[in-house]
Structure 1
């Protein structure tokens, strides 16, 4: 698939993965340790991977990290979260993050859900 043919969500995920690949080449030990750490954080435990993705999405919205918002919206969908569950997590985040979190939710999160659901078809 050509880069121009990608939707916004796919393009952002591609940019993130490409950047991570370059960083990994330049800093292999750091990347290896970071990846091992994050994999451990997202392992199934007392909290499910699904719940952890919802938490990560909320934190991403709160911190205004657009790449992580996209990545964890995808993670939520990949773990079987419904749109309603994602939007409820967004609501909790907006209770803490106010308008800034809500503005990302009503634009970027909804765009990601639509784009990613279209890819599944």
Structure 2
């Protein structure tokens, strides 16, 4: 019996499908965008874990649900604990107020649960 996809996995699949379609229609733009983001997320003075936490905070602040899901997974994939993720959410809420906190207490926590269950 095949396991039903959870919310977070569904959102990631929607994003991957969308970027795939965009890449077919606008290959040069997609290629350059992907190259740029790969360079931005390489280890440097900040490691990938730190960069994922920053990206998650920015995603929450900007209310970008696809990026919130994507970077919550990125945080988990790079070894962030739930406490580290939620602490980053708290810092974001210090700047973004209730809108940022609402994303942290709903979407981010749901993603942590979903991705933890799917492993």
Paired residue for 2:55? 56
Residue ranges of structure 1 left out of the alignment (5+ in a row):
none
* Aligned 1:19-58 pairs, distance under 5 A: 19-58=18-57
Aligned to 2:118: 119
Q: TM (normalized to structure 2)?
A: 0.97
**How far off its partner does 1:26 sit?**
0.1
What is the total number of aligned residue pairs between the two structures? 119
| 1:35-54 per-position Cα deviation (integer Å, ceiling 9, x unaligned) | 00000000000000000000
Runs of 4+ in structure 1 off by over 2 angstroms are none
Once residues 16 and 115 of structure 1 are traced to their aligned partners in structure 2, the CA distance between those partners, rounded to angstroms, is: 17
Any unmatched runs of 5+ in structure 2?
none
Structure-1-length-normalised TM-score: 0.96
3-state DSSP of counterpart to 1:5: coil
> How big is the shift at 1:6?
1.1
Question: 2:68 maps to which residue?
Answer: 69
The alpha-carbon deviation at position 32 of structure 1 amounts to 0.2
- Name the Cα RMSD after superposition: 1.4
